[in-house]
Chains A and B, each alone.
Chain A
Amino acid sequence: MSDPVCALNNAVFDGLVRLEETGPRGMVTLRGDLGAAAVLKSVQKAVKDATGLPVPAVRRIVLQKEYGAGWMSPDELLLMMPYDEAGRAVKAADKALKAVHSLVVNVSDARSVFRLSGAAAPEVLAKLAPVDFTAMAPDEIRRSRLAQVPAAFWRVGDDTYDVVAFRSVSSYVFELLKTAAAPGSGVGFY
């Protein structure tokens, strides 16, 4: 096993915001019917065993330290943990979900994560994503797009957002964010 390499080798850019590719992150897709009480119970245990966190409400994300659980759809959650723990998390969740129809799979390497920090972060994202950041709750996860590719993002603290996109378009996404964060291009809307 060699050390995992993230797509852009932890690239950094400073403009309207600070932009960083934040190293490899453990990510697990969990699919199961969140609307069925019997399934939900197993899902709750699975999420707890994998991340120590509760199941997030609709369009919400729960975060604690390096762990997270985000609502992706009525039958899909995104679980996050340190990269090295993803395999263990899959096993734990699978075990908890043994009795119900579900799918748990490690997707850590399929994604790239970028962090935007700075007061202009919502504004930089709003150049690329059709999202109303005023209406976005502090603990909301938004599945949207950045220009021409799918992306999801959420707030990790004041003026700090994490953005997740597919690995193959990492360089496109980083260049997009760099362009949107170019010095002198502030809007002053948010």
Chain B
Amino acid sequence: MSTRIPNKGRFLNRAAPVSFSFNGRTYGGYQGDTLASALLANDLMLVGRSFKYHRPRGIVASGAEEPNALVNLGQGARFEPNQRTTTTELFEGLTARSQNHWPSLEFDVGAVNGLFSRFFSAGFYYKTFMFPRWAWKHLFEPVIRQSAGLGQVPDPDLKDADTYEHFHAFCDVLVIGGGVAGLQSALAAGEAGARVILLEQTAHWGGRAPVDGVEINGKPAEIWINNAVECLENMANVTIVRRCMGAGVYDHGYALGYERLSDHDPTVKGPRHRLWRIRAAQIIAATGAIERPLAFAGNDIPGVMLASAVRDYLENWGVMVGQRTVIVTNNDDAYRTALALKRAGGAVPAVLDARNHVTSPLAEEVRALGIPVLEGRAIARVKGGKRVRGVGVCLQNSAGAAQEEIKCDCIAMSGGWSPVVHLWSHCGGKLLWDAAQSCFRPDPSRPPLGADGKGFVKTAGAASGEFDTNSTLQDADKAGKNAVKEVGITPTGKSAPKAPQPEQAPLQPVWIMPDKATVDLRMKMWLDYQNDVKVTDVQLAAKEGYESVEHTKRYTTLGMATDQGKLSNINGLAVLSDALGRPVPQVGTTTFRPPYTPISFGAIAGEARGDIFQPLKTTPMQVWHEENGADWEPVGQWRRPYCYRRSGETRDLAVIREVKATRSGIGLLDASTLGKIMVRGPDAGRFLDMLYTNMMSSLKPGRCRYGLMCSENGFLMDDGVVARLDETTFLCHTTTGGADRIHAHMEEWLQTEWWDWQVYTANLTEQFAQIGVVGPKARAVLEKLGGLDVGRDALPFMAWREGVLAGFDVRLYRISFSGELSYEIAVPAGQGRALWDLIWDAGQEFGITPYGTEALHVMRAEKGFIMIGDETDGTVIPQDLGLNWAISRKKPDYIGKRAQQRSFMQNPARWKLVGLETPDGSVLPDGAYALAEGTNENGQRAMQGRVTSTYYSPTLGRGIALGLVLHGPDRMGEELEFGLLDQSTRIARIVDPVFYDKDGEKQNV
């Protein structure tokens, strides 16, 4: 029976009772409880089911290492699965449900898996994957899906109701862990004047020291801790943060802190989680140590707990987990639990110590209280199902024949302590095997290295393997002082406080209890609680040839659960090393990867959700588009109007209307998104001759030229119109998506290859709004606006002029992507909307019609103009597209020229651009392939071409398409068969790619 007792519970505010619900029933706790302590206070020993066998499981630990007690937490838009009860602070109205049980926690059908456990042994998944295949799909998979899995998936229709954020912080010394070691390191660094950040994952400073009854400088630890926190709070150069876990350490002193601001109290305003993105010159991991479980039969039955956790629940939360608690240990530390329980009025029928002779001070103290210490003893097996009823005791040096039985309702176990080396190891810190303490600890001579080749992570206290408080404080003080020295600050002459402690006898490594346990006992010894990995599984893996600890981990799933092996890692690899007959350090550990414990997706996303999930670029005319029925399509980070729908109109009909209106009257296009890069300097012409395939240096000021840009591999990557502004200045237009990329491309060549050329670039894309006025009546509208001569002679096709149009300073280009008479007007962005409105008003009498990107695409396809991203896909060269006219033969070089001379590029069998028409006028499906005779080397149907663009042409009243076809231009009139996804085929005839106004008379009027 687990109960709350008076006079204990230093974290509790007994004046503030809190009610919460677990599996639909309401219980009481206090402010200061964790969900775990509140469950235990209500005698809820069974809190979940294991992953594979659905074994009943209880709370094992009291902190971040808890493997069992995970719950579905919260409801609706605040629902979250797999929340650790031991790190969940209780608040009024908390709602939790246990996981992985069906139909109920108390009665679970899946537990029958346990009866077939021999079929679910190590490598079960791999073995069933292998053979027979049908069995996996039809037999195992459906059954396992039904029974396995942890928490529930949140409702996909609900959005997380909370907000999250990032925060970038910088410091000289980042101390992770707010126990006495972390506090001392922070003091040592802070007093020297360094900028310090100290993070503590729980709500409380001081770690275990107060629970363990430690005295510092002759007074209870709590006094020193409070004083240290106050000192740190008063230092302007120190920032201390509670409820903030050091999640990971990365290259160059980068670390992540995961702060939980309102998990303990959802009424707190502001973000729920904050991800601290910290850049520190030095990092001190004062992350403490985790107690190891012991592997004895039935060590997973609810009521079996870590000895330190039993002590924590008693001291911190006033919970006596058992009325009769048996201690089982291989070291002195667990005796503290016996002392604490007995002094608080609990019964301790026995301490079972695997060691043969124990006379250390702590053991003598226990004996003096009348508690029997049984030496050389072990647990043969635990009695009980859903909670502990007793233990069978045997000799540690035996096969497990029980000599006597002790009735108890709680077992406090301790297999020794392992330093939390995760943060040391994340970025490459190496470990030493400490045989005396049977643990891996950081090797200070092999730290993670920074850019300067020097270590940037240190450990302090128990994380270094210094387990007694006095040496912890010394070590932490040294770490703090050394860290500030590394950043060029002189440490103070102060020395660490003193905390003398009783001497402890060495532990005895115990990996299996008892030593020579029979197989039926070993089958009940759990190593990884959450993933149901037992001693026999690891031994079987060794027998089947798994020698590497990394392979064994994956084969058995040891340490792959959400606790990432915090309790199971060392025990598992010790069992493996024993099975392989190799010493532990030779077997080594698995890799420690961030985050230390899972962090929320919300914290990772930070502010990036909803409207600011991604930047959305808008032009000055955005609001007009919104108000006029724009149907959007994404183009790079822009949203451009695909078409403007009138009420009741489909997209297709809108596009047809826009094309017809433009071809017959006048259309209006927002072309502001096109890239505009100014290139200036004495070498600007020479530079553009290298960038474009055609000649740009010969362009006259006042004129425009269409150009193609290739990558150094010869592939077409961008196109656009270049205007020569004056002798040394060009304005290069790029595609919408290409503006930043092409600007970077230019700068890369200028800065790395042609650094001695006198050329400057400036990206002016956003300086100008650009408005396309397109169609046979375009000139009439501009003439009506007045101010500029836009006649054929004053402004011929492919020319530009600067001037004042209806009072606006504009640059007017006569260029056409539609094949019609067309002007593009550039005006400073801040006046874009005003000019647009003016043109719109002036155009009313001419039937002016705004058109979107689809009408633009249709009109360019009717003209046989290529589109980057449709006709090109990164494997197409200009020659494939019949653009040889835009490739200068006179120039000695341009980017891509050499590549285009390679044999593969010169191959006449490259597919080339043609037009395609179906006999019945229907529209070919996009991306359809033209079938050829026979099959390729893979046995697939041979192909001879594909569709790259395909539209219904409103102008011609039938489907038109562009495509790349083998020897296409030589096969005019031939019919090809195109394969469709439904296995049917469609016929199309090869035609000229220019479907409309081949001579260009319309654009040239």
* A175 is an interface residue with CB less than 8 A from chain B: yes
Which residues of chain B have C-beta atoms less than 8 A from A156's C-beta?
none
Which stretch in A48-56, A57-65, A113-121, A178-186 binds the other chain?
A178-186
Which stretch in B29-37, B174-182, B288-296, B678-686 binds the other chain?
B678-686
Which stretch in B758-766, B795-803, B890-898 binds the other chain?
B758-766
Contact B680 A180 (CB under 8 A): no
Contact B831 A1 (CB under 8 A): yes
Contact A187 B274 (CB under 8 A): yes
Contact A130 B277 (CB under 8 A): yes
Assuming the A-B contacts A148-B614, A185-B270, are A5 and B831 also in contact, with contact meaning beta carbons closer than 8 angstroms in the complex?
yes
Contact B766 A184 (CB under 8 A): no
Which residues of chain A have C-beta atoms less than 8 A from B195's C-beta?
134
Contact A4 B831 (CB under 8 A): yes
Which residues of chain B have C-beta atoms less than 8 A from A1's C-beta?
807-809, 831
Interface residues in A135-190 by Cβ distance below 8 A to B read 135, 147-149, 166-172, 175-176, 179-180, 182-189
Contact B678 A103 (CB under 8 A): yes
* B226 is an interface residue with CB less than 8 A from chain A: no
* A47 is an interface residue with CB less than 8 A from chain B: no
Contact B828 A189 (CB under 8 A): no
Which stretch in B119-127, B464-472, B604-612, B939-947 binds the other chain?
B604-612
Which stretch in B2-10, B159-167, B304-312 binds the other chain?
B159-167
Q: How far is it, in angstroms, between the C-alpha of A176 and the C-alpha of B606 when the chains are bound?
A: 11
Assuming the A-B contacts A4-B831, A126-B168, A184-B270, are A169 and B760 also in contact, with contact meaning beta carbons closer than 8 angstroms in the complex?
no
Q: How far is it, in angstroms, between the C-alpha of A24 and the C-alpha of B620 when the chains are bound?
A: 14
Task: Point out the residue from B169, B767, B807 that lies within 8 Å of A107, measured CB to CB.
Answer: B767
Q: Name the CB-closest residue of A to B827.
A: A109
Which residues of chain B have C-beta atoms less than 8 A from A81's C-beta?
none
* A129 is an interface residue with CB less than 8 A from chain B: yes
Q: Is the contact region of chain A dominated by helix, strand, or loop, or is it mixed? A: loop
Contact B764 A176 (CB under 8 A): no
* B616 is an interface residue with CB less than 8 A from chain A: yes
Q: How far is it, in angstroms, between the C-alpha of A149 and the C-alpha of B740 when the chains are bound?
A: 12
* B138 is an interface residue with CB less than 8 A from chain A: no
Min CB distance B167 to A, Å, is 5
Which residues of chain A have C-beta atoms less than 8 A from B831's C-beta?
1-2, 4-5, 109
Q: Name the CB-closest residue of A to B259.
A: A187
Contact A147 B620 (CB under 8 A): no
Which residues of chain B have C-beta atoms less than 8 A from A132's C-beta?
168, 170, 279
* B459 is an interface residue with CB less than 8 A from chain A: no
Number of interface residues of A (CB under 8 A): 54
Q: Name the CB-closest residue of B to A87.
A: B809
Mark A24-35 against chain B: 1 for CB-CB distance below 8 A, else 0. Answer: 100001011000
Contact A107 B764 (CB under 8 A): yes
Q: How far is it, in angstroms, between the C-alpha of A126 and the C-alpha of B833 when the chains are bound?
A: 34
Contact A2 B807 (CB under 8 A): yes
Interface residues in B81-135 by Cβ distance below 8 A to A read none
Q: Name the CB-closest residue of B to A111.
A: B766
Min CB distance A50 to B, Å, is 16
Which residues of chain A have C-beta atoms less than 8 A from B611's C-beta?
172, 175
Contact B762 A169 (CB under 8 A): no
Q: How far is it, in angstroms, between the C-alpha of A123 and the C-alpha of B169 when the chains are bound?
A: 9
* B768 is an interface residue with CB less than 8 A from chain A: yes
Contact B169 A172 (CB under 8 A): no
Q: Which interface residue of B167, B268, B274 has the most chain A CB atoms within 10 A?
A: B167
* B830 is an interface residue with CB less than 8 A from chain A: yes
List residues of chain B with CB under 8 Å of any chain A CB: 163, 165-170, 195, 239, 268-271, 274, 277, 279, 606-608, 611-612, 614-620, 638, 678, 680-682, 758, 760-762, 764-768, 807-809, 828-831, 833-835
25 examples of A-B residue contacts, CB within 8 angstroms: A2-B807, A2-B808, A2-B834, A31-B762, A103-B680, A105-B762, A105-B764, A107-B767, A109-B767, A109-B768, A111-B766, A128-B607, A130-B279, A131-B168, A148-B608, A148-B615, A149-B615, A166-B766, A167-B620, A168-B619, A168-B638, A179-B607, A182-B163, A182-B271, A184-B270
List residues of chain A with CB under 8 Å of any chain B CB: 1-7, 24, 29, 31-32, 75, 101-103, 105-111, 123, 126-132, 134-135, 147-149, 166-172, 175-176, 179-180, 182-189
15 new A-B contacts at CB < 8 Å, known A101-B760, A105-B764, A109-B768: A1-B807, A101-B758, A105-B767, A111-B766, A126-B167, A126-B168, A147-B608, A148-B614, A168-B638, A175-B611, A185-B163, A186-B270, A187-B167, A189-B167, A189-B239
